[in-house]
């Protein structure tokens, strides 16, 4: 549900999927929709690095473009990595950081996420910082404790509602078709809002996204939950109709 004065965000995380032609077609489909229909939400796509330029060329003015990671350093001997300033130079406005797949696949700690978020802010990007509990942590009743710890440890200095988005993504809900109960989502989002309002002067305006198996069929219900200000979408962001339906539900 829209928090007063907070414009929702529908963010698509393509992960390591697609091809150049796929990227062109998907973005053209979204850009065509955006050209004719005004949504209540901002719409963002985050393709793999090699397709960012293709996506930017096809995106038109209405669609926001971001990346799925950046390095914490400005430049230097970091083979295979990409600096935040390079993303800004290309025309990206956003970067996803601390996704659970990066925390797992690349051993990214919250301290690393914080350093990357600081680099993102310094480059003028909006950092989408992902947090979320594992299934074992949830079963132990530790969800809010874990999420709050990740936020405190990942928050860069200089963060504001203009340059920070928080995405709550239960690890066990990502790509599984499972979602928490509405009550559980509400409790976590309210806890995040409380914490971020203590930490930042304008924390009441920070967008807090829900992510984890958001689909056209459950989006409206999830987006109606208090303090849910949009969605971070994986699998369903790879189909124009599905992602568009989710974006339309973000209000
Ligand atoms: C994600 O990767 O951030 C995600 C939420 O994936 P999915 O929507 O496929 O669960």
CA of 34 to the centre of ligand 1 (A): 23
- Label residue 3 by pLDDT band (50, 70, 90): confident
Cβ-based neighbour number of residue 203 at 10 Å: 20
Q: Which two tokens stand for residue 9?
A: 């965000």
* Position 50 pLDDT exceeds 80: yes
Q: Looking at ligand 1, which atom is closest to the CA of residue 236?
A: 8
pLDDT for the residue numbered 4:
82
| Ligand 1 site, residue 235, Cβ cutoff 6 A | yes
CA of 176 to the centre of ligand 1 (A): 9
Q: Looking at ligand 1, which atom is closest to the CA of residue 235?
A: 9
| Ligand 1 site, residue 234, Cβ cutoff 6 A | yes
β partners of residue 65: 45
Q: How far apart are CA 203 and CA 210, in angstroms?
A: 17
Q: Looking at ligand 1, which atom is closest to the CA of residue 169?
A: 5
Which helix (H) or strand (E) segment holds residue 242: the answer is helix 240-249
Average pLDDT, the chain: 97
Pick from 121, 171, 130, 134: which is nearest to 151 by CA? 130
pLDDT digits (tens, 9 = 90+) for 113-166: 999 999 999 999 999 999 999 999 999 999 999 999 999 999 999 999 999 999
Mean pLDDT of 228-236: 98
| Ligand 1 site, residue 174, Cβ cutoff 6 A | yes
* Position 30 pLDDT exceeds 60: yes
Percent of the chain with pLDDT over 90: 96
169 catalytic per annotation: yes
Ligand 1, atom 7: closest residue by C-alpha:
234
* Position 1 pLDDT exceeds 60: no
Of the residues 71, 99, 101, 227, only one is catalytic, namely 99
Q: How far apart are CA 71 and CA 97, in angstroms?
A: 10
Ligand 1 pocket test: pick from 131, 211, 238, 247 the residue with the most ligand atoms within 8 Å of its Cβ.
211
Ligand 1, atom 4: closest residue by C-alpha:
234
| Ligand 1 site, residue 212, Cβ cutoff 6 A | yes
- Integer angstrom CA distances of residue 118 from 113, 203, 221: 9, 17, 34
For the chain, counts of helices (H) and of strands (E)? 10, 8
**Quick one: CA dihedral 58, 21, 243, 11, positive or negative?**
negative
């Amino acid at each position: 549900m829209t928090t007063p004065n907070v414009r929702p965000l529908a963010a698509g995380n393509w992960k390591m999927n697609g091809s150049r032609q796929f990227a062109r077609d998907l973005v053209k489909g979204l850009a065509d929709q955006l050209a004719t229909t005004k949504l209540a939400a901002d719409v963002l796509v985050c393709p793999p690095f090699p397709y960012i330029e293709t996506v930017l060329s096809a995106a038109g003015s209405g669609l926001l473009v971001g990346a799925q990671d950046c390095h914490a350093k400005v430049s230097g001997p970091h083979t295979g990595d990409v600096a935040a300033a390079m993303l800004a130079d290309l025309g990206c406005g956003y970067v996803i950081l601390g996704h659970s797949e990066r925390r797992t696949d690349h051993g990214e700690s919250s301290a690393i996420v914080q350093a990357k978020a600081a680099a993102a802010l310094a480059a003028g990007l909006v950092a989408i910082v992902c947090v979320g509990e594992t299934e074992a942590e949830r079963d132990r009743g530790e969800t809010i404790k874990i999420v709050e710890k990740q936020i405190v440890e990942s928050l860069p200095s200089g963060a504001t509602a203009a340059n920070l988005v928080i995405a709550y993504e239960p690890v066990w809900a990502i790509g599984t078709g499972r979602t928490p109960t509405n009550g559980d989502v509400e409790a976590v989002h309210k806890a995040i809002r409380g914490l971020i309002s203590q930490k930042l002067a304008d924390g009441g305006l920070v967008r807090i996204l829900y992510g984890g198996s958001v689909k056209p069929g459950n989006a409206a219900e999830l987006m109606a939950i208090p303090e849910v200000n949009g969605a971070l979408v994986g699998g369903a962001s790879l189909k124009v109709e599905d992602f568009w339906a989710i974006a339309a539900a973000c209000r």
